[in-house]
Amino acid sequence: MSLSVFDLFKIGIGPSSSHTVGPMRAAGLFLDRLAQGGWVERVARVETVLYGSLALTGKGHATDKAVILGLLGEEPDRVDPDGADALVERVRLDKCLLLGRARGWDRPLPFHEEEDLRFEGRQSLPGHPNALRLTARDACGDLLDQAVFYSVGGGFVVADPDNPPIGRVNGSQGHLRLFEGERSDSAAVPIPFDFSSARRLLEIGREHHLSIAQIMWANETARRPAEEVRAGLDRIWETMTRCIERGCRQEGILPGGLGVRRRAAILRRQLEQRTAEAERLNQPLDPLTVLDWVNLFALAVNEENAAGGRVVTAPTNGAAGVIPAVIAYYERFIPNANRAGIHDFLLTAAAIGALYKKNASLSAAEMGCQGEVGVACSMAAAGLAAVLGGDNNQIENAAEIGMEHHLGMTCDPIGGLVQIPCIERNTMGAAKAINAARLALSGDGVHYVPLDKVIATMKQTGLDMQAKYKETSLGGLAVNLVEC
Q: Does a structural domain hold residue 386?
A: yes
Burial of 310 (0-12, 13-18, 19+ CB in 10 A): buried
Instruction: Decide which of 100, 135, 159 is a domain's last residue.
Output: 159
Q: Which of 347, 349, 330 is nearest to 338 (CA)?
A: 330
Helix/strand/coil (H/E/C) assignment for every residue in 52-64 = HHHHHCCCCCCHH
Tell me, yes or no, whether 217 and 154 share the same domain: no
Tell me, yes or no, whether 433 and 291 share the same domain: yes
Determine the pLDDT at residue 480: 85
Task: Answer whether 329's CB lies under 8 Å from 371's CB.
Answer: no
**For 386-422, b where at least 16 C-beta lie within 10 A, e where not — what string?**
bbbebbbbbbbbbbbbbbbbbebbbbbbbbbbbbbbb
* Euclidean distance between the first and the last CA atom of the chain, given in angstroms as a whole number: 50
Instruction: Decide which of 138, 159, 180 is a domain's last residue.
Output: 159
Residue 336 gets the label, from left (phi > 0), alpha (psi -120 to 50) or beta, of left
Tell me, yes or no, whether 390 and 328 share the same domain: yes
Domain hosting residue 307, numbered range = 198-469
Q: Does a structural domain hold residue 483?
A: no
Q: Does a structural domain hold residue 11?
A: no
Tell me, yes or no, whether 153 and 207 share the same domain: no
CATH number reported for the structural domain that contains residue 112 in this entry: 3.30.1330.90
- Which residue type does 296 have? L
Determine the pLDDT at residue 1: 57
Tell me, yes or no, whether 155 and 235 share the same domain: no
Q: Work out the number of other CB atoms within 10 angstroms of the CB of residue 191.
A: 19
Tell me, yes or no, whether 115 and 215 share the same domain: no
Determine the pLDDT at residue 165: 57
Determine the pLDDT at residue 181: 37
Tell me, yes or no, whether 411 and 309 share the same domain: yes
CA distances from 458 to 7, 8, 250, 374 (A): 21, 19, 36, 9
Q: Does a structural domain hold residue 149?
A: yes
Tell me, yes or no, whether 234 and 331 share the same domain: yes
pTM of the predicted model as reported, rounded to 2 decimal places: 0.92
Tell me, yes or no, whether 228 and 129 share the same domain: no
Please give the chain's pLDDT, 484 residues, in tens.
579 999 999 999 999 999 999 999 999 999 999 999 999 999 999 999 999 999 999 989 999 999 999 999 999 999 999 999 999 999 999 999 999 999 999 899 999 999 999 999 889 999 999 999 999 999 999 999 999 999 999 999 999 987 665 543 333 332 334 443 333 445 578 999 999 999 999 999 999 999 999 999 999 999 999 999 999 999 999 999 999 999 999 999 999 999 999 999 999 999 999 999 999 999 999 999 999 999 999 999 999 999 999 999 999 999 999 999 999 999 999 999 999 999 999 999 999 999 999 999 999 999 999 999 999 999 999 999 999 999 999 999 999 999 999 999 999 999 999 999 999 999 999 999 999 999 999 999 999 999 999 999 999 999 999 999 998 989 999 998 644 3
Task: Answer whether 384's CB lies under 8 Å from 271's CB.
Answer: no
Tell me, yes or no, whether 221 and 110 share the same domain: no
Burial of 276 (0-12, 13-18, 19+ CB in 10 A): exposed
Determine the pLDDT at residue 183: 39
Determine the pLDDT at residue 187: 59
Given strand 117-120, what is the order of strands in its sheet?
A: 117-120, 45-51, 130-137, 143-151, 157-159, 177-179
The length of the chain is 484
Determine the pLDDT at residue 106: 87
Domain count of the fold of the chain: 2
Q: Does a structural domain hold residue 299?
A: yes
Q: Does a structural domain hold residue 126?
A: yes
Tell me, yes or no, whether 236 and 101 share the same domain: no
Instruction: Decide which of 132, 159, 186 is a domain's last residue.
Output: 159
Determine the pLDDT at residue 172: 32
Q: Does a structural domain hold residue 462?
A: yes
Q: Does a structural domain hold residue 1?
A: no
Tell me, yes or no, whether 287 and 419 share the same domain: yes
Task: Answer whether 70's CB lies under 8 Å from 58's CB.
Answer: no
